[in-house]
Amino acid sequence: MRRRTIEIEIIQSAAGMQRMAEQIRLRGETIAFVPTMGYLHDGHLSLMHEARRLGDRVVLSIFVNPAQFGPNEDLSKYPRDLERDLALAEKAGVDVVFTPAEKDLYPDGFETFVTQTRLPDHLCGLSRPGHFRGVMTVVTKLFHIVKPHYAIFGQKDFQQLAVIRRMTRDLNFDIDIIGCPTVREAGGLAMSSRNKYLSEIQRQSALSLYRALEDASRRVSEGETDPQAVIGSASATIEAAADTAIDYIRVCDPGTLEDLSAIDRPVLMALAVRVGATRLIDNMMLTPPD
């Protein structure tokens, strides 16, 4: 049997990626783009499958973006495994993997950032100051380098998706932003590259996040309208699990991310919890009856 040759293209320089994107566009083909920080899992793969469905060419970027990590966060120990990622990307039908070096995206003297005035002042933006500035800056740069027609993001990072949608609209990027549902492990834990940090016992504790969201969803579907009651019960579920510390649990408007005083329409429940030293996030829409 003949061995399949690797057909995936790996590009490291921003200029090289721009040339490739230009060639694809000149051929009249569309580009679907999936930005990631690598250490790929089934959540990332679902975005690649959506990209494969949407575009003629699929570009995946793998870049652990220092600008979105705070000084005491896990930048230096963020999990990486490029060889494994390339094999998974190829299997998922990715055409081009863009893996820039840090110096290429942030050359000496870099001083230009993209900010937003309201959406980052909620949820993760409060506990991670500067995080969304880093995300918006790198996504803007990647958009200019990869020149996509479609860009695909996960709803697991709900606030990130909201911020990027708003930025794309506000700054007139000619790109369709696509949101994909959260992919979960068997017990409901949202897939994340950071799940690698969890011990077996912590993994069990981490299931409390999904249990709390599911329970909130059930309560609201049965008529509960008080956000504080729903938040209180979710807190109790998570606090009962070993080694957990709640960063935030919020019930908010999915458009503005502002807190709500009554659940009288579909709302977003979003939470961030430390399990041991690992910060996990998750969210779910809660829909009242009728």
Looking at 20, 24, 46, 272, which residue binds ligand AMP (CB under 6 A)?
Answer: 46
The CA-based angle 23-167-70, given to 5 degrees, is: 100
> Toward ligand AMP, which CB reaches closer, 183 or 263?
183
Q: Which residues are catalytic?
A: 44
Q: C-beta of 36: minimal distance to ligand AMP in Å? A: 4
Positions in 152-171 near ligand AMP (CB under 6 A): 153-154, 156-157
- Side by side, which strands form the sheet with 278-286? 244-252, 267-275, 278-286
Q: How far is the CB of 185 from ligand AMP (least distance, A)?
A: 9
Residue 196 pairs in a beta bridge with none
Phi, psi of 287 (to 5 degrees): -120, 120
**Rounded least distance, CB 2 to ligand AMP, Å:** 34
Alpha carbon distance 184, 173 (integer Å): 31
Q: Does 36 bind ligand AMP (CB under 6 A)?
A: yes
Q: Which residues pair with 11 in a beta bridge?
A: 98
Q: Smaller CB distance to ligand AMP: residue 180 or 231?
A: 180
- CB atoms inside a 10 Å sphere around CB 156: 20
193 versus 205: smaller Cβ distance to ligand AMP: 193
183 vs 213 by CB, closer to ligand AMP: 183
11, 14, 20, 44: which one contacts ligand AMP (CB under 6 A)? 44
Q: Do 167 and 184 form a contact (C-beta atoms < 8 A)? A: no
Give the span between the Cα atoms of 91 and 45, in whole angstroms.
9
CB of 81 to ligand AMP, least distance (A): 12
Q: Map residues 176-215 to x or -, x wherever contact with ligand AMP holds by CB under 6 A.
A: ----x-xx------xxxx----------------------
How many residues interact with ligand AMP (rule CB under 6 A)?
17
Contact status: 278 vs ligand AMP (CB under 6 A): no
Contact by Cβ (8 Å): 260, 231? no
Extended beta strands in the chain, E state: 9-11, 31-36, 57-62, 96-98, 150-154, 176-180, 244-252, 267-275, 278-286
Q: Which two structure tokens, joined as six digits, stand for 197? A: 């940090």
Which string of b and e fits 162-183 if b means at least 16 CB within 10 Å? Answer: bbbebbbeeeebebebbbbebb
Binding of ligand AMP by 43 (CB under 6 A): yes
* Least distance from ligand AMP to the Cβ atom of residue 171, Å: 19
Segment 88-147, which members bind ligand AMP (CB under 6 A)? Answer: none
In this structure, the number of other CB atoms found within 10 A of the CB of residue 113 comes to 13
| Residue nearer to ligand AMP on the CB measure, 148 or 227 | 148
- State the nearest-atom distance from the C-beta of 207 to ligand AMP, in Å: 14
**Given candidates 24, 37, 67, 273, which one binds ligand AMP under the rule CB under 6 A?**
37
Contact residues for ligand AMP, defined by CB under 6 A: 36-37, 43-44, 46-47, 153-154, 156-157, 180, 182-183, 190-193
